[in-house]
Amino acid sequence: MAAKAADPIPGYIVLVNNDTVKCKFKTGGFILASNFFNKLTVINDQGEEQVYHASDKKLVAFGLTQNGRKYDYLYMDVKPKTDNGFYLRIVKGGKYQLYSHQVASSSGMFSSLSPIYVLYNPSGEFVKFEPCVLCPWKKHLRELLKDDQKALDEINNIPFPPNIPKFVVEINKE
C-alpha cells in the first residue's frame, strides 16, 4: 500500500509587490520538519503547484497554520549570501522581533542542528548571529541593542547554552 501524502496546509504568501495571496502549502506533514529556508511548494486555488526558491526573491514572506499554531516566515537578505532565505519568526514583540532557521552540521558520524538567529530592533536594524562558544554573538547583540540599557544588562545574564527566545521575550517586557 502506498503512503498517503500529507494534506496541504492553508496559509498565505506575500509577493514582492506586497500583494497577499491565500494558498496551501505542500509539506512533509509536520511544519518544523519541513525545510522552508530555500524552497517551498504552494498550491493555488486551481490546484496547481508552484515552487518558490528563496534565491528568486519573488516572495517577501509567507505563513501557515497547523494544529492551531501559526508559523510566519520572512525572507532575509543577510551576509554571507549562503544565509539568505526564509527565517521563521520565533518572537513577535513590541520592540524586538526574533527570527531563526536551523543549520545542519556534521562531524564524522555525528550530526546536529544549530540555530542561526536574526534580531530586529525598533529602528528596523538587524543582526544575524549564531550563539556558539567561539562566536562573537554577545558583541553583535551589544552593537544592535546599544540604545537599550535594560537589554544590555540582560545580555550579561544569558547563560550558555543560551535561550535566545527567552532573552528576547524578557527585553520586550516594559
Q: Report the pLDDT value the prediction gives residue 50, as an integer from 0 to 100.
A: 92
Q: Which of 2-11, 45-54, 100-109 has the lowest mean pLDDT?
A: 2-11
Local structure of 147: helix, strand or coil: coil
DSSP labels, 27-83: -SSSGGGS--SSEEEEE-TTS-EEEEEGGG--EEEEEEEETTEEEEEEEE--SSGGG
User: What structural domains does the chain harbor?
Assistant: 1-75 (2.30.30), 77-174 (no CATH)
- The mean pLDDT of 125-146, rounded to a whole number, is 93
Q: Report the pLDDT value the prediction gives residue 1, as an integer from 0 to 100.
A: 42
Specify the higher pLDDT residue, 107 or 154. 154
Per-residue confidence band for 28, with pLDDT thresholds at 50, 70 and 90: low
Q: Report the pLDDT value the prediction gives residue 82, as an integer from 0 to 100.
A: 74
Is a pLDDT exceeding 50 seen at residue 11?
yes
Per-residue confidence band for 27, with pLDDT thresholds at 50, 70 and 90: confident
Rounded Cα gap, residues 159 and 162, in angstroms: 5
Is a pLDDT exceeding 90 seen at residue 59?
yes
Q: Report the pLDDT value the prediction gives residue 170, as an integer from 0 to 100.
A: 94
- The mean pLDDT of 74-88, rounded to a whole number, is 85
Q: Report the pLDDT value the prediction gives residue 67, as an integer from 0 to 100.
A: 84
pTM (2 d.p.):
0.85
Q: Which residues, including other chains, have CB under 8 Å from residue 139's CB and lie 6 or more apart? A: none
Is a pLDDT exceeding 50 seen at residue 3?
no
Question: Quick count: other Cβ atoms within 10 Å of Cβ 150?
Answer: 11
Comparing C-alpha atoms, which of 86, 90, 88 is closest to residue 39? Answer: 86
Rounded Cα gap, residues 116 and 95, in angstroms: 20
